[in-house]
Amino acid sequence: MGAGVVQKSGDQGRRRRGRGRSRPMAEINVTPFVDVMLVLLIIFMVAAPLMVVGVPVELPETAANSLPSEEEEPLTVTVTADGTVMIQTTEVPRGDLVARLRAIATERDSTRVFLRADGAVPYSDVMQVMGALNRGGFGNIGLVTDAGGPALDGQGG
């Protein structure tokens, strides 16, 4: 893996007796190591977004910038197309939503929560869930959308 023979300098035209005309190269070739690490980096960069909350919803598309990430795993509340409310991946009845959110808020450092709602959910239902999030102790609500939607500034999407 990169071992070779290096000629000694100074004896280029003369012949010497005995051994020692060449010595093994003591350098390590790190190019294959760097190549493998770059491939692993790309694999993890592609796979990391696939390991997020797994409730399938059709998010509306907007031209908004994404929110910065934080150290604590973000709390995600999802409203599916049929109106089911889920905290992370656990289904929660609407009547128990505020009580559960208050219990979760006492255990967390951050008041940030991400709200994911299917595009087919009526606006009033989304606002009711946002009100429950606020009553439950989460005042920093981020609405999750898919990127690539219309920018509404006349320059396309």
For residue 29, the model assigns a pLDDT of 86
30 token code pair: 């790190």
In-domain check, residue 152: no
57-102 pLDDT per residue, tens: 777 777 776 666 556 678 899 999 998 999 988 899 988 999 999 9
* Residue 60 and residue 97 in one domain: yes
Quickly state the pLDDT bin for 54 (edges 50, 70, 90): low
- Same domain? For 74 and 143 the reply is yes
pTM for the model stands at 0.54
Number of domains in the chain: 2
